[in-house]
Structure 1
Amino acid sequence: MLKLVAVLFMSLLLGACASSGQKITPDLITQIEPGKTTVSQMNDLFGAPASQSYSSDGKLAMTWMYVFVGPFGTGMKQQSLAVLFNTDSTVEKYNVIDAAPGGVRLGQ
């Protein structure tokens, strides 16, 4: 009986975690090369963006998000990657925000 309770408890703990989106890792970020990396390559690296829009001068802006919430709402981590593309569909510049405690901001 104690074994069953332990298994149920562990299942509850593991099942209480949730995440959404592709984790934005330093290894993935180093693959972004302004002037070279295309929209298609960004989608291959990070999946479908959470949002996209066009500026008045025809430049595409895309945002990717990753959110993780630990058991019982603890350990929340949020990351975002915002990318502005040139009119030739290559990366012009990007910005990464890691909203975890001690998070960092990267970009070019």
Structure 2
Amino acid sequence: MPESVPGAGYVLGALLVMFVVTVALRAAPFVALSALKHSAVVDFLGRTMPVGVMIILVMYTLRDVGATTWLPATIGLCGTIAMHLWRRNAALSTVAGTGLYLVASAFWG
């Protein structure tokens, strides 16, 4: 075997290190959350982050809406808001709003 090929001990050592790092990284969020379970900051972020993320996504989506595509975007946005206020289901709201946007884009896009 050429000298550039690592030995079995080296390969097993590297695999062991990769295994330990992978398990530690997967366990870290659960350890951190259990330590912060009753934290007021985590509770506040849990209540406010979904709204903040949705606002950022809406702003990102509508930032490049041109003069010809504002109507489909507005119809999709209004449909998403209406469905969410009616059913309080994020997945259903997203699917309905996307569907309305696609249909409106076919007519006005």
Tell me the TM-score range normalised by the shorter chain: under 0.3
With a CA cutoff of 8 Å and minimum separation of 6, indicate the structure with the bigger relative contact order: 1
Q: Return the TM-score normalized by structure 1.
A: 0.25
TM value normalised by structure 2: 0.25
Higher strand share: 1
Kindly indicate which of the two structures has a greater share of residues assigned to helix.
Answer: 2
